[in-house]
Amino acid sequence: MTLAHQGLALAYLAAAALFILGLKGLTHPSSARRGNLYAMAAMALAIGATLLHPAVKHYTLILAGLLGGAVIGTLVARRIRMTAMPQLVAALHSFVGATAVLVAFGVYLGHAPAAAPDSVLLAELFIGSVIGAITATGSAVAFGKLQALLPGRPLLLPHRHLLHLVLVLTMLGLGADFLLYGHMVCLLLATCIALALGVLLILPIGGADMPVVVSLLNSYSGWAATATGFTLGNHLLIITGAIVGFSGAILSYIMSRAMNRSIVSIVLGGFGASGGTETPAAAAADRGVKSAAVEDAVFLMGNATQVIIVPGYGMAVAQAQHALKELTEILEHRGVEVRFAIHPVAGRMPGHMNVLLAEADVPYDKVFEMDEVNPEFARADVALIVGANDVTNPAAKTEKSSPIYGMPILEVSKAKHVFFIKRSMKPGYSGVENLLFQQDNCSLVFGDAKDVCEQMATELKTAA
């Protein structure tokens, strides 16, 4: 091994260590910024070391690509809103998958004129292309659902499981031919089937499962990167891809357990499908829902001992986190204990609510996960729900016919008073009516979450 190769290996080892430290930092909000800095340093080191590789002879196109990517990335990062972060993540996963496909075909075409590639390389090309293709189109469909370009409800094709099975078996048959004979047409057809599978696998998955899907697609993108690393003989890409693949898979498992659902049931899809007829529970909700004015909620919160705030996607859409922070400070100045309750799948991606609250400088010690905070609801005077629909729905515990039955929820119904900030009577992303609205202790405060929270803060200041 030459001195240059030894230096490259050491640089890749250091970058891999920094990536691991970065991932470790992301496990807690207080260390997340440090974790991001580690990951950024790792990526800079990896790019710099790769550019110094002896095999790199010309830099014009590489530098043009780096400059173009830097400009686009900077513009997107400065303009993207936190509410659009889930679909941005899905789009980036799609790029990773597409890159894996392009690398696989590029390597094949580079080897084909000289000699028939060996079976190991052919296997790497096939796996990388297939996983990359599924990731690319699956992530694109997830982006479409999150961006409301496609319906958020499950789109169920007749006999879809049989169709999936036929496509998978056909793809494996083409893969066997490719491994034996190296026919490019087989790789091309298998990749086309994988592209179709990416679409067909994500379309039947409903909106309530989308946080798990985003995490699962993150895992797919990691495995696609790993396969690409084997193809290119790049050890760092293998390591980082495996880290992303395993961490995404573990996170998906944790989140699916938090919903009391299996990964298999989520991948099979159909969660949140509606039979098209109004249930008695939905009809009762339409007739018996109580509404309250901002002043009613302010009076009870201002005289409370403990208030628990539950943020959801409604808070993210309205960008109400800063108004909530102000409301929290006013309540605490009046001697009210305020806590935030976070469900594992609140929002549209893992950690969505934590990031938004951190952006508003809500102290970490006031933010509690579901298992920690659920026992506190029975002692709370007021639970304030800011657009968190499905994760507070008692149907998950009481209605066996409900699609969300069995999913652990935040037990807000146990609070003495529940105020739910909501734009309209539309159901949550899963399409399931919230039975919480029927309870005697629950009142809805209609309006934009940011406007309502600002009005509450103003009323509390006036009352003080």
Residue 147 DSSP class: T
* Catalytic option among 286, 371, 381, 390: 390
Q: What is the DSSP letter of 407?
A: -
Q: Rounded to whole angstroms, how far apart are CA atoms 378 and 285?
A: 23
The C-alpha R_g of the chain, in whole angstroms, comes to 25
Q: CATH: 2.30.40.10, 3.30.420.40, 3.40.50.1220, 3.30.2290.10. Which one for 280-463?
A: 3.40.50.1220
CA triplet 359, 21, 83: central angle to 5 degrees?
25
Question: Taking the model in full, what pTM does it have?
Answer: 0.72
Question: 415-427 b/e with 16+ CB inside 10 Å = b?
Answer: bebbbbbbeeeeb
Contact predicate 197/132, CB 8 Å: no
- How many Å apart are CA 225 and CA 100, to the nearest integer? 7
DSSP state of 149: S
Rounded Cα distance between 217 and 252, Å, is 9
Q: How would you write the pLDDT of the chain (464 residues) with one tens digit per residue? A: 577 778 888 999 999 999 999 998 887 777 888 999 999 999 999 999 989 888 888 899 999 999 999 999 999 888 887 667 788 888 999 999 999 999 999 999 887 655 556 788 899 999 999 999 999 999 999 898 888 788 777 787 888 889 999 999 999 999 999 998 889 999 999 999 999 999 999 988 876 677 788 888 889 999 999 999 998 888 899 999 999 999 988 888 877 776 666 777 666 655 544 444 444 334 334 546 888 889 999 999 999 999 999 999 889 888 899 999 999 999 999 999 999 999 988 877 777 888 889 888 999 899 999 999 999 999 999 999 998 888 899 988 888 877 778 888 999 999 999 999 988 777 665 667 888 988 889 999 988 899 999 999 999 988 76
Long-range contacts of 456-463 (CB under 8 A, 24+ apart): 456/294, 456/297, 456/298, 456/301, 456/327, 457/323, 457/326, 457/327, 457/330, 459/294, 459/295, 459/298, 460/298, 460/301, 460/302, 460/327, 460/330, 460/331, 460/334, 461/330, 463/298, 463/299, 463/302
Question: CA-to-CA distance for 42 and 36, rounded, in angstroms?
Answer: 10
Spatial distance between the Cα atoms of 194 and 136, rounded to a whole number of angstroms:
9
Domain-wise residue ranges, the chain: 80-268, 280-463
Burial of 344 (0-12, 13-18, 19+ CB in 10 A): buried
| CA 398 to centroid of chain Cα atoms | 28
The verdict on whether 118 is a catalytic residue reads no
